[in-house]
Structure 1
């Protein structure tokens, strides 16, 4: 098939390269000329394991190219909207500016039988409004919604071998049949391999993504709330998590207490979900998500307070090493990063903060010029009065506590992700603290 993707950020670029890798001819469209030029040269604009090779292989095979000219997509069968939907600057809802701009830019170039597909995470009701936008412009093209479920660090795998595919189809039978035929052909390889398919209407597909993210955020904040109680009682949240995770109704995933979630999806998606519920007159239905958000934000300030107490009550004149800046490992994404928030907060209170991250150092240097950046954990910790592990990169989990102690000023570790062995670090002479564990 001939597929265009509108938006070549994290979602769109990975989707374009992955779809080309399974045999489709793909055109990636974006308004950023530099990004387009880099992608056409096989240069990934972000860190994502495995992506650059898939990108380069697809380019070499001649099935993938990138452009800023929408007219190049005039004879393509499917157009996939992959633009961002960030949180509004002055409100909790999602900003649909880029979604509307993508559709408006497509309209003059849509072939009569082309299908418009959405993968961006949008408030419920968006697909229906975009369909009306097409109709108002005199276009009868079929529109469907096909939400993405990518995990940063696993995006290529999640695109090529998803755990489910969701179709949000229009009510009109003929339009629905046309959209479904295109989707079935696009994902034919995956469907033949047994990937589960779930089909519903527009609203259902739109709600699937935000519901999944909200449930995940709730699970993370739940165990972090339990960690708060554990710290007040001497209980061990890791043992509690192990015990409740053995209940197959709950499961063990995402039950490790820590400093909370971040990134470009969970924080803004739960806020947008709440905002949309308010617009629909069902505010109370999602009221619990407000506390989920509050718990998540509290964890960040809790670590700042833990560090201050460990330093004798003040940060001024202290050297603090922060291990991690990305919101999660195997990514250079610092959006809503708990680690970067904590580092900035401590710096703002007078500490000399040195950050290191295997992938995000360049972003830290650009976004937080007040923070010093070190090449690795040992350089960051040199002379430090305290070390904070805030992103669970493998490099940090495998640190040698004996070697690290030799370079620090004071051997104090706060393990914000509960990934280190407390006994090993204490045996090496460290004062060790973690989240919700004695």
Structure 2
């Protein structure tokens, strides 16, 4: 007896998805509610769980195929691990069993099998010359992520170990190309960002911030803060609260154009740009203007973990009135971030570095950060944008303003 596995409901206004990866191969035992496939929608990756326990039957759609809600994508056969042979319609295993027994290798895990690595991880493994069997996966169910491969490469470089390519090196004069189909998420990112350029009158204003006061406050209270709240005190909570001050003073920066109307929000739903294995995502911290530092840090940390595990939902990213993007974590010195439609502004943060500045007629060294505010000039005037960014700068340079709402 076989059970059909269908594409689940994907969320409001989402009718189709792409098979991103099969997590179970024909013939493998499957437990109840165990993930068997990963689907990529326009916004998130969604795992399809088995509705019964049994043995993985046939894959009725290949990786990369587009499927609709309700479509049958696989079958689960009745039986346990002993009944591992799929029906004739199911694809045969890629590798035949060896003629002689082979001792198991404990260091290698199922997630290190090239057949179950995602395309991004396979490319990273080849690029850095890392044996996937030596990598401990931090993704869901121990799967290897691209970040795991990069971390392993950095660790090997720091130890001075030689780089050994995972495959036979190509001749020096050989030129190669690789064509990889864009994921549905990457296609959506491309469309939305290009739409922002086409529809909005984009402009960016810059300023720099002396981070001395915030760094001193963080160093002074970080241990007691973590002990009391169970989360680390970072810089994002300071910038989130500073942004709330600016948006309250300059409502246009927290507004949107909808048709021929301008909608002003009396709340701040903060979209936080997070790097996930499949691309950039922007989960929303709701009512951040009413939250304390600890609540903000917890919300951002939870979203960061969910993004890394591929567990973000459509609801996590719905809405948002203003965005903060932190390119500084990757070492970016300055950028012109693109707004997240239909929002009208985005704050870009960058790396902190010691620079000479003039204070009271003296040249001193201070930890400085460039900040940028990209905005839609159709709704936000230059004076409003500059004033909002200046308000954020002043609040960061004197965090007391965050306490007295000034």
Give the TM-score, by structure 2 length.
0.30
Structure with higher Rg: it is: 2
